[in-house]
Structure 1
């Protein structure tokens, strides 16, 4: 059945590619690439590879060289076919193996919860997820990134092609962030602490940089940054940027977008306080005690693996700080307290 679906979407994508001839001056592989992703996500690596090669053969037969005959006419056409096959294989491996990895992680989580052993559940998931990261995700992701770097070298790209490549780079970066979260989970197993590189930095400047990036991704959400007092401290800038991004992203997803998100930095005393506030429904009472546990998602939210707030807690702990949440009267606030002086928690053995 999965291979039948792959065959169907490949044929449909090649047929619909005729629609790109008029606006772009020639048929392009946009729709076939979508078909490859869909086939791999639906059926796994095998159907994805079948779809990729069927699409490449269909393009060769219909649009490249002499119509209704196999064979390319120019070197540029050969580059286009080779580039698509490269992307198709990488996309199939990435999408298919990510699907398999997600299924394995979900099955492991359900089995562990049924057993009722929290420590054993997390331990088993960590071991399985580390194996997934090491063998099933990093290699296909690297192949896809290499393909993106290769595309501009095959010839000049049209404006629409550059936009498509830019969007695909963004997708690769988001996937890389997911892998980073999984690796952080593995590093913090059994009480270990994330490694941080502390240096003099300004928390307000870090927040402003992260908010600027998020405003480009969410132009409809007003985000404000306010700094009160001296915001200098010994911090790991990259880790703090990850913390701020996770908190603000969480506020955008679960809050009232029209009301926006408020980021406040308070620098009085020996510690810095970072607050991220959003308006919207309060945190459910049954969820509140488990907010910072791994693999916890609010309600029926199925985005990601539920590691964002857990990573926030671990980054704060690595700096010798802590994080807490309060929710009442239509407002939810996450507060992070960080010591001003360098006293990061030592890594556990």
Structure 2
């Protein structure tokens, strides 16, 4: 940290010399000088800690200088000011100085001990004020952040409730139909119930996982050795039955074997494909590309359309809902993808490219 800066503003060179000697001798302060209010104002704007200010300057009064500095800097950034007078000053003048921003008053002849003690006291006061202001600024920022999180949580709960009703309603209708007409208890209706209950289970699992991650926990993974190309082809075949968009799979080069938690990586894949189907252009292909470079595997999932600019930096934020919609939100899918990727030791990125919304992840080929 550099030396504290003390500015002496006085039109008399002899006074400046005396004040400089008092302040500089035996102290760690850097002393600056100005002979006019205009010169002093320029130095104040550059940043000083304490100003020793003569109230009678050739171009303006000390009171006017304080007011100009406050208008330029604002009251929070105004340095501590000691008003100096060559003669006895009235209580009215002292009050005027204090009212416009001065913190102390001294008169010539200056007592060196009193001046140094006053400067030291003001320096300590500045430090305390700065600490209080930092704490206040932190509290204000935290309050604003909590307010934003509250709004996002409320929007998310509306979105989550909306999304949860759909599979529950479908399962309820199917079971109600089977109860009213037992003869219609077909495999098709049972499949509807099973599929929709699985959707509910997946949504609840995502919610529990992201809550666990939010309080500092991680997602535990268990690795198994698999043939990556065969596994991804089987998984895409199954996912293709769950979305209306056609899925296009591109395998680049030799993928070989990986040691992964296949359940966790399937959740990554399901969330990315599901998100692309939900927010992309209906019936347009969802492209899935997989490549490998030594011990890193890259997966890219893209759909026709684009991420709104306002959400690009918040896609992996839990509970984030675009202000354009109170119900159709980004939910927990992408935050779960981010959390799972990080558990793998990887990373995730989002971008718009060639009229497509792209999510790209990169993870190690082995959990070992």
- TM-score w.r.t. the length of structure 1 is 0.52
Look up the match of 2:336: 311
The 8 Å contact of residues 287 and 302 in structure 2, kept in 1 or not, is answered as yes
Please give the alpha-carbon distance, in whole angstroms, between the structure 2 residues aligned to 1:193 and 1:216: 31
Greater percentage in helix: 1
The 8 Å contact of residues 206 and 240 in structure 1, kept in 2 or not, is answered as no
Deviation at 1:210, TM superposition (A): 3.2
Look up the match of 1:320: 345
Deviations 1:288-316 (A, max 9, x none): 11110111234427257710000000110
The 8 Å contact of residues 194 and 318 in structure 1, kept in 2 or not, is answered as yes
The 8 Å contact of residues 325 and 333 in structure 1, kept in 2 or not, is answered as yes
- Which of 356, 360, 364 does residue 331 from structure 1 map onto? 356
Q: Return closer, same or farther for 1:196/1:120 CA change in 2, 3 Å cut-off.
A: farther
Please give the alpha-carbon distance, in whole angstroms, between the structure 2 residues aligned to 1:271 and 1:205: 18
Please give the alpha-carbon distance, in whole angstroms, between the structure 2 residues aligned to 1:162 and 1:117: 50
- Which of 247, 253, 274 does residue 223 from structure 1 map onto? 247
Look up the match of 1:116: 144
Q: Return closer, same or farther for 1:119/1:328 CA change in 2, 3 Å cut-off.
A: same
Residue 293 of structure 1 pairs with residue 317 of structure 2: yes
Look up the match of 1:165: 190
Look up the match of 1:270: 295
User: Within 5 A, what are the aligned runs for 1:2-41?
Assistant: none
1:277 alignment partner, SS class: strand
Q: Return closer, same or farther for 1:118/1:337 CA change in 2, 3 Å cut-off.
A: farther
User: Within 5 A, what are the aligned runs for 1:1-349?
Assistant: 115-118=143-146, 121=149, 157-158=183-184, 161-219=186-244, 221-228=245-252, 229-280=254-305, 282-298=306-322, 299-300=324-325, 302-303=327-328, 306-343=331-368
Please give the alpha-carbon distance, in whole angstroms, between the structure 1 residues aligned to 2:282 and 2:235: 18
Please give the alpha-carbon distance, in whole angstroms, between the structure 2 residues aligned to 1:279 and 1:157: 44
2:208 alignment partner, SS class: helix
Q: Return closer, same or farther for 1:114/1:260 CA change in 2, 3 Å cut-off.
A: farther
Give the stretch that moved more between structures: 309-318 or 292-301: 292-301
The 8 Å contact of residues 178 and 304 in structure 1, kept in 2 or not, is answered as no
* Gaps in structure 1 of 5+ consecutive residues: 1-112, 130-136, 344-349
Q: Return closer, same or farther for 1:285/1:169 CA change in 2, 3 Å cut-off.
A: same
Q: Which has the larger radius of gyration?
A: 2
Q: Return closer, same or farther for 1:295/1:333 CA change in 2, 3 Å cut-off.
A: same
Deviations 1:53-95 (A, max 9, x none): xxxxxxxxxxxxxxxxxxxxxxxxxxxxxxxxxxxxxxxxxxx
Q: Aligned pairs, how many?
A: 212
Q: Return closer, same or farther for 1:321/1:304 CA change in 2, 3 Å cut-off.
A: same
Deviations 1:308-331 (A, max 9, x none): 000000110001001101103311
1:267 alignment partner, SS class: strand
The 8 Å contact of residues 231 and 265 in structure 1, kept in 2 or not, is answered as no
Please give the alpha-carbon distance, in whole angstroms, between the structure 2 residues aligned to 1:162 and 1:340: 40
